[in-house]
């Protein structure tokens, strides 16, 4: 039976009394681990339903995640991708442009990454590098910055008119919380790779990055492709709120197939070579 999942947009799939239950929160106001994990699991189940719908109906979904370093973009992308198929839900995170790419039309290197029918693409940073990181760090000229702000809304309107479902999220983190997260990464050797020179310089230029974000919103927060701000000082809340918003923004239905019958092995005349001829890894565990 096909069940409408418009419930998510109509009721948020959240009972207000349930979400406001004080038993779900710690004394400091944060979410208790058990409640967070149960809500995340429930939303990840819905994301699987969404991917079936997108794949079956050939939808093209593009979700952009932007924000300062350590704001939580990678964390929410990981949770979205955790239970979904990488053939349907894929992440795009471009490295520094090559010399050849620097001579191209700015949006050109992003176009091949746009979703085809039946795909959801998650941009871990995007073309907004130009109006944020590049402008803050002086990697683009004032003319390039101005041209981006002028053409970006038109480019995104073209995407929307072509049928692409475009969602843009800005993860907002305070200076103090960013500093705490950077310090935590610095203390942990296994996480220190996340703390780059660019991150440190961005932290130093926190105010200028605020200017960049405000200017970006002024020009690119348009009706056809609005920005959605995700307060992310609390990572767990940010993840749940963002995923919930995604689910409420794309109408879908539950078309997950019923369980299938697993076939038995067909018997065929075949003698396998001796197992001793194979090289096995050491059985340490």
Q: What is the DSSP string of 127-155?
A: GGGIIIIIHHHT-S-HHHHHHHHHHHHHH
DSSP notation for 19-42? HT-GGGB-TTSPBPHHHHHHHHHH
pLDDT of the residue at 7:
53
Residue-wise pLDDT tens digits, 93-109: 999 999 999 999 999 99
- Mean residue pLDDT of the chain comes to 93
Lowest-confidence region among 15-19, 80-84, 119-123, 220-224: 15-19
Q: What is the DSSP letter of 222?
A: B
pTM of the model: 0.92
Chain centroid to Cα 136, Å, comes to 23
264 pLDDT more than 80: yes
The distance of Cα 56 from the centroid of its chain, to the nearest Å, equals 22
d(CA 245, CA 119): 19
Answer whether residue 282 shows pLDDT above 60: yes
Going along the chain from its start, the domains and CATH numbers come out as: 3-14+25-257 (3.40.50.300)
Q: What is the pLDDT of residue 3?
A: 42
Q: Report how far apart, in Å, the C-alpha atoms of 229 and of each of 128, 161, 242, 246, 281 are.
A: 15, 23, 9, 13, 49
The Cα-based distances of 257 to 4, 8, 145, 247 in angstroms read 15, 20, 48, 20
pLDDT at 229: 98
């Amino acid at each position: 039976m096909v069940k409408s999942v418009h419930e998510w947009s109509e009721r948020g799939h959240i009972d207000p009394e349930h979400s406001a239950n004080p038993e779900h929160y710690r004394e400091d106001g944060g979410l208790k681990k058990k409640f967070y994990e149960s809500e995340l699991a429930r939303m990840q189940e819905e994301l699987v339903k969404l991917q079936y719908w997108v794949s079956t109906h050939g939808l093209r979904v593009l979700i952009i995640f932007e924000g300062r370093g350590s704001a939580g973009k990678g964390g929410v992308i990981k949770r979205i991708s955790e239970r979904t198929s990488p053939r349907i839900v894929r992440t795009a995170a471009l490295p520094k442009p090559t010399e050849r790419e620097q001579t191209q039309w700015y949006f050109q290197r992003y176009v091949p990454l746009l979703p085809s029918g039946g795909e959801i693409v998650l941009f871990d940073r995007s073309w907004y590098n130009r109006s944020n990181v590049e402008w803050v760090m002086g990697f683009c000229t004032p003319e390039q910055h101005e041209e981006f702000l002028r053409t970006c809304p038109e480019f995104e309107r073209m995407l929307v008119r072509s049928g692409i479902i475009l969602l843009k999220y800005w993860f907002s983190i305070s200076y103090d919380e960013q500093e705490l997260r950077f310090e935590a990464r610095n203390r942990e050797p296994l996480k220190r790779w996340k703390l780059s020179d660019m991150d440190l310089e961005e932290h130093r230029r926190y105010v200028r990055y605020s200017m960049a974000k405000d200017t970006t919103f002024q020009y690119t927060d348009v009706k056809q492709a609005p920005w959605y701000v995700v307060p992310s000082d609390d990572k767990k809340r940010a993840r749940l709120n963002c995923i919930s918003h995604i689910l409420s923004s794309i109408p879908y239905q539950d078309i997950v197939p019923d369980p299938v019958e697993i076939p038995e092995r067909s018997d065929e005349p075949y003698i396998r070579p001796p197992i001793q001829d194979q090289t096995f890894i050491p059985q340490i565990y």
